[in-house]
Amino acid sequence: MLLLAVDTATPAVTVALHDGESVLAESNQVDARRHGELLLPSVDKVLAGAGLTLDALTGIVVGVGPGPYTGLRVGLVTASTFATVLGIPVHGLCTLDGLAYAAEAAGIEGPFTVATDARRKEVYWARYEDPRTRVGEPAVDRPADIAEQVAGLPAVGQGALLYPDVFTDARAPEHQSAAALASLAVERLAAGQEFLPPTPLYLRRPDAQVPKNYKVVTPQ
């Protein structure tokens, strides 16, 4: 087994290689405006670090969000393209599940909350019973509107750090880790669990909209 994991659903551009036993190499950069610029060089970096090439991969793992439209699609398109060209499967995982899994290494057992920055003064969030068990589906809300639901719970993710009045026990990790995402995928593959399709989990409409009414500028 050799899995390449990527996630661009948050400001982190994160890539990792996992051989089924351990993480061989990883790259993590935080830049919300350069997902497209940073992702492929990061893939090259982790492959070179492990002394491997793309044709050695047996599968791709990709974070499907929730996340902003532009950044999220960079990772999904890249993962799907690699999988198609190489003829290997691509496994989708909720980005919040990756952060929850990483929380275990930080000593959080549960219950707890994961929250990432959704912009517009909102967060993408979900509650977890433990690092492997999500309660319900991910959602997008204003922090004040979910204050009662997350009160008293530890919280991880950048969204929690941005709103300390609501997430009063914010902890690391702040950003997504492809290494954690890959490790979670290995566990789920071993257990025969299903994965999400490599399609984006947006939870809301993109900021860019097609104009409803076009102004005629050519002569009749």
Output the average pLDDT for the chain.
93
Identify each DSSP E strand in 105-184 by its residue range.
112-119, 122-130, 133-141, 154-156, 169-171
Dist CA 96 CA 181 (whole Å): 10
pLDDT of 209 strictly over 80: no
Q: What average pLDDT does the segment 153-180 reach?
A: 96
Dist CA 184 CA 101 (whole Å): 7
Segment 56-73, tens digit of pLDDT: 999 999 999 999 888 999
* pLDDT at residue 69 in the model: 85
Segment 30-51, tens digit of pLDDT: 998 999 999 999 999 999 999 9
Segment 112-165, tens digit of pLDDT: 999 999 999 999 999 999 999 999 999 999 999 999 999 999 999 999 999 999
CB contact at 8 A, 96 and 126? yes
Dist CA 13 CA 67 (whole Å): 13
Q: Which of 175, 180, 131 is nearest to 3 (CA)?
A: 180
Cα of 22 vs its chain's centroid, Å: 20
DSSP states of 70-87: HHHHHHHHHHHHHHHHHT
CB contact at 8 A, 91 and 60? yes
